Amino acid sequence: MKTVSRSAGRSAVAAVAYRTAERLVDQRTGELHDYRRKGGVEFTELFLPKGAPEWAHIREVLWNAAEQAENRKNSTVAREFEIALPAELSAQQRERLARDLAREIVERHGCAVDLAIHAPGKAGDNRNHHAHVLLTTRRLGPQGFTEKTRELDDRKSREVDRWRERFAQLQNERLREYGHETRVDHRSLEAQGIDRQATRHLGPTAAAIERRTEKPSRKRLEFEREVAERLTQAKEAGELERQARAVDRSILDLSGDLKAALQEREREQRQEQERRQSIEEAKRQAAAGVAEFREQFRLHQAVEAGKRAVREEVMAELQRQAAERAAERERQAQQQREREQEQQRQAERQQPQRGRKGPSPGY
């Protein structure tokens, strides 16, 4: 199992874009990874646990969320199985085999799995059908990513060994089902009792260095030095011929001949130029979007200001009308009081006086 770690300058979004030959934007770095012109990708599919949120079905959203779930600069943001698929099986049969493995991983660990099946390289072994199985490092629930799948980090749990054994079982089941006598053994050559050198891949970093510089990478030189030492030992033991044949089989030239390497470098340069152009276009579109947003915001503010002015005018008119009605009611009440007072005075004047006429006795 391999890991995709930030400490190595890698990104889960970039890795998935390359494996699936898609165009994905890494929201954490702002980089656009466009590998749509990359050939050799035969099949891709995203596998999710039951109850996963709807947004997780979108590859770009899922892997950006996986990146955002990690906050350390040296976080491991993805895991990857690179598995060989039997050349004896047809494309549909290999697809079924890889999909069965992906489903079992999801069911056991509750993580999301992104599967990409690749065809053999043009310059390499035409039987090298293989698949990249990328896993999120956290389980995926209805609310998003949760705890880490630590069992895949713990060597004591032997979980990775279990998957090697299980995939060998799946391969042998399919080979038997489709009538092939070939069988697969997940154990090391030493454990199987086979006396030959195991094959070794250079890896994407070393292969990229060789394509760019057209020189052997440090990893290749170290491996060739190790092979030379073993050849010397084998010669002393009288086994030079057998070891030479084993070495010839063990070195996998991932970059092909010089012409293929030059073509690969030119293609990468074109892709880099297209990537930069895409980034500039995205920036221009973003700037245009910001300007449009500002204009819309300005218009919105103007409309809201107009609404506030109208509301203030309406409120002022209502208050004026209310004040006029109150003044009218007060005027009418005052008139009513004055009428009542006048009526009372008239009544008092009309009332006859009782008793004798003349001054009162007190005067």
**pLDDT for res 111:** 97
Higher pLDDT, 342 or 193: 342
**pLDDT for res 116:** 97
Mean pLDDT (whole number) for 194-216: 58
User: Does residue 38 contact residue 110 with C-beta atoms inside 8 Å?
Assistant: no
Mean pLDDT (whole number) for 341-363: 71
Residue 219 pLDDT exceeds 70: no
With pLDDT > 70 as the criterion, what percentage of the chain qualifies? Answer: 76
Domains and CATH numbers, the chain: 1-186 (3.30.930.30), 194-255 (no CATH)
**pLDDT for res 293:** 78
Cα(265)–Cα(212) distance, rounded to whole angstroms?
6
pLDDT in tens, 143-165: 999 999 999 987 777 889 999 99
Residue 217 pLDDT exceeds 90: no
Strand partners, 116: 44, 132
**pLDDT for res 193:** 46
Mean pLDDT (whole number) for 244-250: 47
Cα(182)–Cα(78) distance, rounded to whole angstroms?
33
Residue 303 pLDDT exceeds 50: yes
- What is the 3-state secondary structure of the chain? CEEEEHHHCCCHHHHHHHHHCCEEECCCCCCEEECCCCCCEEEEEEECCCCCCHHHHCHHHHHHHHHHCCCCCCCEEEEEEEEECCCCCCHHHHHHHHHHHHHHHHHHHCEEEEEEEECCCCCCCCCCCEEEEEEEEEEEECCEEEEECHHHCCHHHCHHHHHHHHHHHHHHHHHHHCCCCCCCCCCCHHHHCCCCCCCECCCHHHHHHHHHHCCCCHHHHHHHHHHHHHHHHHHHCCCHHHHHHHHHHHECCCCCCHHHHHHHHHHHHHHHHHHHHHHHHHHHHHHHHHHHHHHHHHHHHHHHHHHHHHHHHHHHHHHHHHHHHHHHHHHHHHHHHHHHHHHHHHHHHHCCCCCCCCCCCCC
pLDDT in tens, 173-202: 999 999 988 888 756 444 444 444 545 555
